[in-house]
Structure 1
Amino acid sequence: MTAASSDKTRQDGARRVIPDRLDGGIVRALKSWEALLLAVAVAIFTANSFASPYFLDPWNLSDATFNFTEKAVVAIAMAFLVIAGEIDLSVAAIIALASTAMGAAAEAGVGTPGLVAIGLGVGLACGAFNGVLVTRFGLPSIVVTIGTMSLFRGIAYVTLGDQVYKNYPADFAWFGQGYVWWVISFELVFFLAVALVGGIVLHRTTVGRKVYAIGNNPLGATFSGVRVERIKFTLFLMTGLAAGAASVMLTSRLGSTRPSIAFGWELEVVTMVVLGGVSILGGSGTIPGVVLAAFVMGLVTFGLGLLNVPGIVMSIVIGAMLITVIALPILVRRLAARRQTTGAA
């Protein structure tokens, strides 16, 4: 083989390899769960625009974001926790307890900065309590947070009973009702900022790699020098803080506090996380997937609301979505394994 023919062969090989890699990357992206969620979001958006003549109004679209931004902020933090192999089912109760504390402080004359600090502080304290029980005492997080879900919500009911806190300062309403620019609400901007920071941390830092390692093999991560318990404790703290922030925005938007506030939100938050492609068993998932899942759920609930669908039907839809996204990957893996077995035979 001459030098010229050898050079030509290398050039031809290069021309073959590079497009194959590009095609592979594009195909993987198109086959990803995030691409499917994006297609579903577009389909739901289109269906809603035909179903109601009021859907495409800019202010109605802005109102649609209030259906999911507060829950989505918690879902971003919850995604880290689930990827690490843990879960927090007390987030809705943390919101209720933080809101109750803010309401009591408002009745005592505390101003807006103090109320925000109290809401975030209660969220951090609840997250720390969950984290200590799980990481220091080795208790299962699902058992711990089911218990603290009843504990935190029970404290709110004991404190308030059938009463309502509603004497909040006028400027406190901005966090849940204010707009940064035109129809762009503060809540939406805050959610997108949290998602951006969460995406960078999870996908572009060593902390994110450690979270994935813990979720895949906590024992192996420990022997690799990862401070597993410390990271898990921090993730519980961040989830509690996110619930505190959601409590500030929700209480501000409603302008009042009842012990039943955010009731049932833990189901919707977990649904967002799992629908976003985060494995309930831990070790996999992405922040973009959770963001897209939040928009999908927001569009679904807002569209059903425009059609005057009862709330109980929305609960059925959310429950069906949760069951489907948990069962679908298992069924797909079983079907693939069966095909491989049949092909080998």
Structure 2
Amino acid sequence: MDSVNKAVIENSAKQAGWHLPTWAKSWEALLLLTAVVVFLLNCMASPYFLDPWTLSDATFNFTEKAIIALPLALVIIVREIDISVASIIALCSVAMGYTAQAGVGVELICLVGLAVGVCCGLFNGLLVTRLNIPSIVVTIGTMSLFRGIAYILLGDQAIRDYPPAFEYFGQGYVFYVFSFEFVVFCLLAVLFYVLLQKTNFGRRTYAIGNNPTAAFYSGINVANHKLILFTLVGFFSAVASIMLTSRLGSTRPTIALGWELNIVTMVVLGGVSILGGSGTIIGVVISVFLMGLVTVGLGLLNIPGIIMSIIIGSMLIGVIALPTLIKFFAEKRRV
């Protein structure tokens, strides 16, 4: 999809007689331009939008989802998907809630949550790589399984017995104005950029996404690589669960319900091809900020949550359908 989008931008520029530099022809540049436009519209929508505290608090709307979007981008690049992430968040939160009720310290609460997330991701990965079940089928099943376990363990109750120190992960600030969550996301974005663009691990990821069979015969252990990626998604779903549970101050089995759509949209809107083999972390990061700005803007206009869901769903369908539409109209023009 990345190459198709780039071709469309190049053709439009040629027709208009423009000579754009290479970076300006990318999907990331188009996303960045869109984000700037949405930012300016938000400035006009509310005089309070540019307040530093308003901007800082707005990051709470997307940072937990964005943290999961980073490893999920790698999973989609290798032609797989994980839509059980929100259910992993719920199960991790329930595990942490029961651990907190036992009166243990913050460190052990977090370790339990991370352990559950890793186990969930590993379980998904083993089903995909060892039993060769399509990841969409596996994660649809585990999405119901993990959420169902959370409901069985907690029912319609809520757990609020967290120690005061636990609040910092979801409510704390760094340098007075930046939320702790946002700072963690920025650091992870840099880490995943280096991992995907500058290391052999990233090159293997692209190789598997472009041609898994060729990657296998070139000496790459495709199954183990995918297993690592699914485990990473589970781990960072647990990280997001720690932050979300801390921010809400409670655990419920409905926590993060419906987040799958938002997270997948962040990745695909960022230029990661749903067919695998292409995409960048920079695109995902810009997409995260764009969706955050859209959410804040709609909130400033008092748009109901169901309308926000419709808009996000439409964005996902539009981005996935874009290459097909471009190919269709290109063929019509040739005829």
Residue 281 in structure 1 maps to residue 281 in structure 2 = no
Which residue does 2:108 correspond to in 1? 114
Structure 2 gaps of 5+ residues are 1-17
Cα drift, residue 54 of structure 1: 1.4
Cα drift, residue 338 of structure 1: 4.0
Residue of 128, 132, 143 corresponding to 1:149: 143
**Separation in structure 1 between the aligned mates of residue 332 and residue 25 of structure 2, nearest angstrom:** 21
Per-residue CA shift, 1:314-335, capped at 9, x if unaligned? 1011001101111112211333
Residue 219 in structure 1 maps to residue 206 in structure 2 = no
Which residue does 1:161 correspond to in 2? 155
**Separation in structure 2 between the aligned mates of residue 88 and residue 157 of structure 1, nearest angstrom:** 21
Which residue does 1:244 correspond to in 2? 238
Per-residue CA shift, 1:258-304, capped at 9, x if unaligned? 10000000110000000000000100000000000000111111111
The AA in structure 2 aligned to 1:206 is N
**Separation in structure 2 between the aligned mates of residue 90 and residue 330 of structure 1, nearest angstrom:** 27
**Separation in structure 2 between the aligned mates of residue 265 and residue 330 of structure 1, nearest angstrom:** 26
Which residue does 1:55 correspond to in 2? 49
Residue of 99, 116, 130 corresponding to 1:105: 99
Residue 327 in structure 1 maps to residue 332 in structure 2 = no
Q: Secondary structure at the match of 1:45?
A: helix
**Separation in structure 2 between the aligned mates of residue 77 and residue 337 of structure 1, nearest angstrom:** 36
Q: Secondary structure at the match of 2:256?
A: coil
TM-score by length of 2: 0.93
Cα drift, residue 142 of structure 1: 0.3
Cα drift, residue 26 of structure 1: 5.8
The AA in structure 2 aligned to 1:276 is G
Which residue does 1:42 correspond to in 2? 36
Per-residue CA shift, 1:77-117, capped at 9, x if unaligned? 10000001100010000000000000111111121101111
Residue 83 in structure 1 maps to residue 67 in structure 2 = no
Per-residue CA shift, 1:209-238, capped at 9, x if unaligned? 111111111011000111100100000000
Residue 260 in structure 1 maps to residue 254 in structure 2 = yes
Per-residue CA shift, 1:157-183, capped at 9, x if unaligned? 111111001110001000001011121
Structure 1 pair 337–206 and aligned structure 2 pair: CA distance change class (3 A) = farther
Cα drift, residue 310 of structure 1: 0.7
**Separation in structure 2 between the aligned mates of residue 25 and residue 106 of structure 1, nearest angstrom:** 60
Q: Secondary structure at the match of 1:168?
A: coil
Structure 1 pair 218–304 and aligned structure 2 pair: CA distance change class (3 A) = same
Residue 234 in structure 1 maps to residue 234 in structure 2 = no
Q: Secondary structure at the match of 2:61?
A: coil
Cα drift, residue 25 of structure 1: 11
Structure 2 counterparts to residues 129-148 of structure 1, below 5 A: 129-148=123-142
The AA in structure 2 aligned to 1:255 is G
TM-score by length of 1: 0.90
The AA in structure 1 aligned to 2:225 is I
Structure 1 pair 123–26 and aligned structure 2 pair: CA distance change class (3 A) = farther
**Separation in structure 2 between the aligned mates of residue 171 and residue 337 of structure 1, nearest angstrom:** 61
Residue 177 in structure 1 maps to residue 171 in structure 2 = yes
Which residue does 1:12 correspond to in 2? none
The AA in structure 1 aligned to 2:62 is F
How much identity, in percent, do the aligned residues show?
62
Please identify, of 305-314 and 278-287, the stretch whose mean Cα deviation from structure 2 is larger: 305-314
Residue of 297, 302, 307 corresponding to 1:308: 302
Per-residue CA shift, 1:137-160, capped at 9, x if unaligned? 100000000000000000011111
Per-residue CA shift, 1:242-266, capped at 9, x if unaligned? 1000000000000001100000001
Larger radius of gyration: 1
**Dislocated runs of 4+, deviation >6 Å:** none
Residue 64 in structure 1 maps to residue 84 in structure 2 = no
**Separation in structure 2 between the aligned mates of residue 225 and residue 336 of structure 1, nearest angstrom:** 39
The AA in structure 1 aligned to 2:309 is S
